[in-house]
Structure formats: C-alpha cells, structure tokens
Amino acid sequence: MKLIFSEYSIILIFLIISFLLSSLIFILSYFITPQKADQEKVSAYECGFNPFDDARATFDVRFYLVAILFLIFDLEVSFLFPWSLVLGNLPAFGFWTMVVFLLILTIGFIYEWYKGALEWE
C-alpha cells in the first residue's frame, strides 16, 4: 500500500493544489469585480443580436451533420495519438486494424461529401 501511495501522491497533491487555487481565484473574482446588474447584463445574448424567433425552431440538418463529423474526427484523433506512440511495438495486426479504422472513416467522410452535407446554400 505504501508503494501505491508513493506513486500516486504527486497526483493527489496536484489535485489538492489545483482545487485550492481554483477556489481562491473564484472567491477573489467574486469580491474584486463590481456586482452591479444593469439591463445589458441581464438581457439574453444570442450570437450578437437579440433573439427573434421561438426557441423550439427546427435547425437545418446540416448543422447536425457537421457536428457529427466533428465528433467523429475528434474521436479519430483521440485514437490516433496513443496508437502513434506505440506504433513501433505493435504487431502487424495492430497496424492493419488502425488502417481499416481509418479507411472506414475516410469512406464515411467521402460519402458525406458526396451527399453534399458539407455544402452551404
């Protein structure tokens, strides 16, 4: 048990210091900044102009497709980074598995591009 604590004690100390520092900054920002609320501060802000429509209005499906593409390629990068770090130690199966993964993502991206999901009218 002593060995485990000695290895992870630095992480625990880091978490405690970061919690204390963030709490201190939060408390100081509350006391230092002025707390006067005016009409401009409490008004609704939406992309630089006043809201003009119902909040339940439907969005174009392209917004969702671009968001899904962003998530897909963001996850792709999160898989590629650790894979690239251990690439020299991987057998051929590990290499070709990632190649198939990238190929599937590339086919999906080409399909989205072909269907016009990335074009704005």
Pull the structure tokens for residue 42.
Answer: 């409490």
Q: For every one of its 121 residues, what pLDDT tens digit does the chain have, with 9 covering 90 and above?
A: 676 777 888 899 999 999 999 999 999 998 888 777 777 766 766 565 556 666 677 777 777 777 888 888 888 888 888 888 898 898 999 999 989 988 988 898 888 788 777 777 6
Q: At what angle do helices 61-85 and 92-115 cross, to 10 degrees?
A: 160
- 102, amino acid identity: L
Q: What is the DSSP string of the chain?
A: -HHHHHHHHHHHHHHHHHHHHHHHHHHHHHHHS-----HHHHS--BTTB---S-TTPPPPHHHHHHHHHHHHHHHHHHHHHHHHHTGGG--HHHHHHHHHHHHHHHHHHHHHHHHTTT---
Model pTM?
0.47
CATH 1.10.10.10 fits 2-115, yes or no: no
Q: What is the pLDDT of residue 54?
A: 67
Q: What is the pLDDT of residue 64?
A: 79
CB 109 within 8 A of CB 69: yes
Q: What is the pLDDT of residue 47?
A: 61
Q: Express each pLDDT in 33-44 by its tens digit.
A: 877 777 776 676
